[in-house]
Amino acid sequence: MAHAVSVKDPLDVEVLRKDFPLLARTVHDRPIVYLDSASSSLQPRQVLAAMEQYYETTHANVHRGVYATAEGATELYEGARRKVGRFIGAPDPKREIVFTKNATEALNLVANAWGRRHLKRGDAVVLTEMEHHSNLVPWLMLAEAIGIELRYLPVDADGRLELDGLERALEGARVLAVSAMSNVLGTINPVPTMAEAAHAHGAVVVVDGAQSVPHSVVDVKALGADFLAFSGHKMQGPTGIGVLWGRAELLEDMAPFLGGGGMILDVRLDRFTPAEIPWKFEAGTPPIAEAVGLAAAVDYLHGVGMERIVAHERLLTAYAIDALHERLGGDCRIYGPPAGGDRGGVLSIAYRDVHPHDLAQVLDQFGVCVRPGHHCAKPLMHRLGVNATARASVGLYNDEADIDTLIEGLSHVGTVFG
């Protein structure tokens, strides 16, 4: 969800970069230029320190022991839940935040725990051509299992959704599942408008926020979502933890996704009673240290200021698009909308006819980290008419010098491949 931002207090990137140990490394005798935050962001020292302190002073399983460290671990874990909930404006953070291992698991949870209970053969789910596999494959699996109908909103030539047919697609639909921001095109979709239309048709709105939550100011009420999924490792947190936010009444009406310890109130040989939300969706030992790290990441982002981060990344994205066009001209194609309020800091690039993997390998010689591939969005690749792209993506620790180095590397690609 895009917000108007102020640039009166710009980020001091040189100071921020000192918080990220990996950026002190050199590769091929060059400093690292990390342009792969859309895949996984870097963690600041504050996150690493919080997790280390937990392991050194408070490590115990949660919701089980009554000794001091166990109670301390439980409070850290549940405190992280509340903190993450407040970060996205959850009305009831204690009950509406479910910890998973990533956004993929969170979206699978919705498709299975909500979808299998509420959808039947012939019911329609509206998706888009730009969805990440994690917000596509679970619905394909459900279609195969119970025979639901999948409808798709197309992508236009500029990388935006074609919404002229939204009302028609929503007729009789039970679900609208949409990415808030494309991990390939950088397109920021008008989720509030789409959600309003979906709700008018009685559809539940499932939002993949993996790319949007780390790079925008999010309020789930303003977003209009019924479910929102995102990952810790894309927002300066650790790997191994994701988040599902859902409206409490929807979560209460869902069956558990996984069974085992921690998610039950009572078990008999012939039946079980699940725990209350959110714990009925958190079977087994949860990612405790990772939750502590994610809470520290939220503190870090708050400390920097999400509005400042949005403003910085928007300006840097505009600089990157302009500089790539100006210096490389027609040799470089950038997929997605032009710079602006509906464009995030993801730059999928094609350079001449050089294969994206070759391009990424040459860039690595300049210390530049980009991701080549289909980016877990194969249907969108087919729509774009390519097998892969090289994707550069910015974060709060990037600056114009990083973009300049990217362009230097791309220029060398032209020399290497002629």
Q: Which tokens hold the place of 80?
A: 């992280």
Q: How confident is the model at residue 4 (pLDDT cuts 50, 70, 90)?
A: very low
Report the chain's C-alpha Rg in angstroms: 22
Q: What share of residues in the chain are helix, strand, coil (percent, to 5)?
A: 45, 20, 35
Write the CA distances from 345 to 100, 125, 169, 212, 278, integer angstroms. 26, 29, 29, 10, 33
Q: What is the mean pLDDT of residues 300-320?
A: 98
Do 161 and 187 touch, CB atoms closer than 8 A? Answer: yes
* Predicted pLDDT at 414: 83
* Domain boundaries of the chain, sorted by first residue: 13-42+305-417, 47-302
Q: What is the mean pLDDT of residues 345-373?
A: 97
Tell me: the pLDDT tens digits for 380-390?
Answer: 999 999 999 99
* Predicted pLDDT at 7: 55
Give the residue ranges of DSSP H helices in 155-286: 166-170, 191-200, 220-223, 248-252
* Predicted pLDDT at 1: 33
Percent of the chain's residues with pLDDT above 70: 98
Question: Could you give the strand order of the β-sheet that contains 371-373, starting from the edge strand earlier in sequence?
Answer: 332-335, 346-351, 389-393, 371-373
Q: Is the pLDDT of residue 318 over 50?
A: yes
Residues recognised as catalytic: 376
Burial of 365 (0-12, 13-18, 19+ CB in 10 A): middle
In CATH terms, the fold of domain 47-302 is: Aspartate Aminotransferase; domain 2 (3.40.640)
Q: Is the pLDDT of residue 261 over 90?
A: yes
Q: Token match 């390998």: residue?
A: 361
Q: Is the pLDDT of residue 8 over 90?
A: no
The top-level CATH class assigned to 13-42+305-417 is alpha beta
Q: Is the pLDDT of residue 5 over 50?
A: no
* Predicted pLDDT at 2: 35
Q: Which tokens hold the place of 172?
A: 């009789």
Average pLDDT across the chain, whole number: 96
